[in-house]
Chain A
Amino acid sequence: MYRFSLHIIFILTVILGVTQPCNAAPANSTSIYNDVEKSVYQVQVINQQTNKKTAIGSGFITAAPNILVTNYHVVSTYVTDPEDFELHYLSTDNKEGKLTLLTVDVVHDLAVLRATEPLGTPLSIAGLPAKGARLYSLGNPLDLGFSIIEGTNNGIMKNSDDHNILFSGSLNPGMSGGPALNETGEVIGVNVATSGNEISFLVPAEYLKAMLERLGKASFQPDADIDARISEQLQDHAGKYVKLLESAKWTTLPIGKLVVPGDIENYTRCWDNSSKPDPDDLVKVNYTRCSNDNSIYLDENLEVGSIAYEYIWLDGGDMLPPHFYNAYQKQNASVLDSEAGKNDVTNFACYTAFTEVAGQEYKMTVCRRDYFNYTGLSDVMVTGAMVGHKQQGMLFNMDMQGVDFDSSLQLVKRILGGFKWQK
């Protein structure tokens, strides 16, 4: 069972791990570090009760001398509970001060903050250089001190739908929100995540540029209602995303007597998930699971945006039909892999009926639960079991987290419409 996972690189200061040696920085990075050192800061989330930091990340000055940019996930604790937390900055020469949150972009994991006084020279923003170009990433890994890391630009990831930049260099927890610079010291991306082994990810600076332009027009005033803005962003993203999936190219996948939609090009990937066959098993099971790796981090227990669909083909050989159907029914139990709790979502409501897909009868269920704080967003679970065959069964499960209900059903229809029955 493979699951592609990104580890967001922020960490509580109490669980600092073993550091990895950074790449030896050549002369070039020395000059870059000296140039931008005064524009890079540590961003801290402070618990007002204890006056201690609970999360750290990095940030940099851009657009104006008092405007600091970091990741949304660095400040998410503050966003979800602004009463109990504060945001602070810490400079390379240990200057400290308070920050005000202006706006966030949860889809691209960005946040813009404002200091009460000018902090340094704003870094300018540039487009992505060619693949293979040297990049320099700055930040404060594991709270050990400000560092510069050299790596290679490997371009925008085509097979991933968050369209981040693949950076071949070692980002570490605490560097989140720091700038990634080209060789002339311009910001081309923001450090965001790592999968270890020099596989790291940067948010392209173009998204940041759009945010800063909008803020600049409002003379850098904070958004009135951050939650409403987040809802709006999630809904907008979910709508667009589902439309993109519908219009994207789909590969096909044979499973049992069916041919079904497989990978959605550039968005989802399918993996065989069948367990190792046991010769004593009476039912042979083929299990394919397809999923995107797009999840939008909202807080410690809440991520939305993931879409997964799976096909399970069951063949009972020459079992007695009631015997096979007992095994089949046991497999017909779909749950949602989510940590959302009672303060985030409602209970599921489900609708079950019989419908026809590719000439075969399915007992199909649609379940829906809604988010309390993000209006218009739902978790949708669809599960269907093919019926009417004596010793063969097919389960189709689809989970979508943080989507618009109506457009998610369109996507389900699109997938089910791609089913073909083969004699």
Chain B
Amino acid sequence: MAKIILEVRTRGLSQYHRLEQFPVTVGRALDNDIILSDPAISPHHIQINQTEDGSLTVQNLSQENGTFLEGNKLGEGPVSLPVPAHLTLGGRKLNLLSDEVPVTPTNLLKFSGLFCFASKPVWAIILFVSCTLALFTEKYTTTFLSKGVWFYLSDVLINLGILASFALVLSLMTWIASHRWALVPALSITFLLSLLKSVLVVLGGIFAYFFTSDSPDSWLSTLYNTVLVTGILYLYQRWASYLRPLPALGIAILLASPLLVIEALGQLDRITQDGEFSGDPSYNQTLSAFNIHAGGMLPLDDYMQKATEALPSQVDDSDNNE
């Protein structure tokens, strides 16, 4: 006959008790067979008994905190207890299992698929170096005064500090969820996110110039702030913390919330400004050293002709005049 296991679910690592000799008492008092130091558990909370035909019963001994079997509140008398079953004692969840229940194979910190590389220190170092170089390049190419190397270094160090804090928060989340720090993957993912941002900024500029339009840039930025960051963090939580989809999504959104809020405010601004008067013209101001663009070079006469066609009077037509 299969052995019976009582699982006491706790965050991180659950406790398992093999039930061999009946009756088994569960409670907070030290004379129980299974002692749970949970303040919501009564000193003597339940008793599990085996009948002569081998089936189990459970009896609720606690009037103050109560016991639920599959969500139904138990009275005072013993009731039959199937295997498997879910019990709730006070706020604590217990599962009654057979030892024949299959367990998913573990892959402790061996990342599969996309995140396989993230757990390897060598990748963390590669990403760290690339990210540092990207931050340095970004600062260097947007400073138009000749400055010493310390000027750039201090800026890069501040940014790296912020990234390191973020990696720690990420790591803490993994610890809370699975009692492991997973610092290397957290650092890898953090540097990857930062590197991705730098790359997208450059790509955004190139596309904006190529299409003579601000939209590629703003689309890429929106994509990064919403889907990319949240998505990568979600996958990370799934892989690194072994979280189920919903909690993983929750933590991903929580971590990405500053970006999401900024993006939402930006979109809100855009919507409110759309109908408003502005004394400033809005046109695509991007310039690119590579000078690659989709629209060809027009002779001046053609250009003026096209400009005239593209810009009719906004007040002559009565339907344009709101």
Interface residues of A (CB under 8 A from B): 278, 280-283, 320-330, 332-336, 338, 340-342, 346-357, 361, 363-372, 375-376, 378, 381, 383, 385, 387-388, 390, 393, 405-406, 409, 412-413, 416-417
Alpha-carbon distance between A347 and B295 when the two chains are bound, in angstroms = 25
Q: Is the CB of A366 within 8 A of B307?
A: yes
Alpha-carbon distance between A212 and B210 when the two chains are bound, in angstroms = 59
User: Which of B299-316 touch A at CB < 8 Å?
Assistant: 299-304, 306-308, 310-311, 313-316
Alpha-carbon distance between A306 and B74 when the two chains are bound, in angstroms = 89
With A326-B142, A328-B287, A341-B277 given, is the CB distance from A354 to B306 under 8 Å? no
Q: How many A-B Cβ pairs are below 8 Å?
A: 140
Interface on chain A toward B: helix, strand, loop, or mixed SS?
mixed
What's the minimum C-beta distance from B115 to chain A, rounded to whole angstroms?
A: 32
Q: Is the CB of A322 within 8 A of B289?
A: yes
Q: Is the CB of B300 within 8 A of A355?
A: yes
Q: Is the CB of B303 within 8 A of A361?
A: no
Q: Is the CB of A413 within 8 A of B300?
A: yes
Q: Which residues of B contact A349 (CB under 8 A)?
A: 310-311, 314
Q: List 11 A-B contacts (CB under 8 A).
A: A335-B280, A340-B279, A352-B284, A355-B299, A361-B291, A368-B311, A372-B315, A375-B316, A405-B313, A406-B308, A413-B301
Alpha-carbon distance between A66 and B315 when the two chains are bound, in angstroms = 40
Q: Which residues of A contact B291 (CB under 8 A)?
A: 361, 387-388
Q: Is the CB of B285 within 8 A of A329?
A: yes
Q: Is the CB of A356 within 8 A of B297?
A: yes
**Chain B: interface residue count, which band?**
35 or more
Q: Is the CB of A346 within 8 A of B314?
A: yes
Interface on chain B toward A: helix, strand, loop, or mixed SS?
loop
Q: Is the CB of A282 within 8 A of B278?
A: no
With A323-B140, A328-B287, A329-B286 given, is the CB distance from A353 to B298 under 8 Å? yes
Q: Is the CB of B315 within 8 A of A390?
A: no
Q: Is the CB of B288 within 8 A of A325?
A: yes
User: Which of B261-283 touch A at CB < 8 Å?
Assistant: 277-283
The 7 closest A-B pairs by CB, nearest first: A342-B277, A321-B289, A348-B281, A355-B303, A367-B281, A350-B283, A351-B310
Q: Which residues of A contact B300 (CB under 8 A)?
A: 355-357, 413, 416-417
What's the minimum C-beta distance from B220 to chain A, rounded to whole angstroms?
A: 17
Alpha-carbon distance between A412 and B279 when the two chains are bound, in angstroms = 22
Alpha-carbon distance between A173 and B238 when the two chains are bound, in angstroms = 77
Interface residues of B (CB under 8 A from A): 140-142, 144-147, 212, 277-289, 291, 293, 295-304, 306-308, 310-311, 313-316, 321
Alpha-carbon distance between A375 and B314 when the two chains are bound, in angstroms = 10
Q: Which residues of B contact A357 (CB under 8 A)?
A: 300
Which of B289, B295, B313 makes the CB contact (< 8 A) with A353? Answer: B295
> With contacts A348-B281, A381-B281, A405-B308 known, what are 13 further pairs, Cβ within 8 A?
A281-B144, A323-B141, A333-B285, A336-B280, A353-B212, A357-B300, A365-B284, A369-B281, A370-B316, A387-B291, A393-B287, A413-B301, A416-B300
What's the minimum C-beta distance from A364 to chain B, rounded to whole angstroms?
A: 6
Alpha-carbon distance between A372 and B315 when the two chains are bound, in angstroms = 7
B140, B144, B304, B308 pick with most chain A CB within 10 angstroms: B144
With A355-B298, A370-B314 given, is the CB distance from A322 to B280 under 8 Å? no
Alpha-carbon distance between A3 and B298 when the two chains are bound, in angstroms = 36
Q: Is the CB of B145 within 8 A of A278?
A: yes
What's the minimum C-beta distance from A334 to chain B, rounded to whole angstroms?
A: 7
With A346-B314, A356-B298 given, is the CB distance from A332 to B285 under 8 Å? yes
What's the minimum C-beta distance from A94 to chain B, rounded to whole angstroms?
A: 45
Q: Is the CB of A282 within 8 A of B144?
A: yes
Alpha-carbon distance between A28 and B316 when the two chains are bound, in angstroms = 56
A332, A363, A378 pick with most chain B CB within 10 angstroms: A363
Q: Is the CB of A361 within 8 A of B313?
A: no
Alpha-carbon distance between A351 and B284 when the two chains are bound, in angstroms = 9
Q: Which residues of B contact A416 (CB under 8 A)?
A: 300
Q: Is the CB of A282 within 8 A of B307?
A: no
Alpha-carbon distance between A329 and B146 when the two chains are bound, in angstroms = 18
Alpha-carbon distance between A14 and B301 when the two chains are bound, in angstroms = 54
Q: Which residues of A contact B313 (CB under 8 A)?
A: 370, 376, 378, 405
Alpha-carbon distance between A383 and B281 when the two chains are bound, in angstroms = 11
Closest to A280 in B: B145
Q: Is the CB of B311 within 8 A of A366?
A: yes
With A281-B144, A327-B144, A354-B295 given, is the CB distance from A405 to B311 under 8 Å? yes
Alpha-carbon distance between A197 and B281 when the two chains are bound, in angstroms = 38
Q: Is the CB of A390 within 8 A of B289?
A: yes
Which of A320, A336, A355, A375 makes the CB contact (< 8 A) with B141? Answer: A320
Closest to B277 in A: A342
What's the minimum C-beta distance from A311 to chain B, rounded to whole angstroms?
A: 17
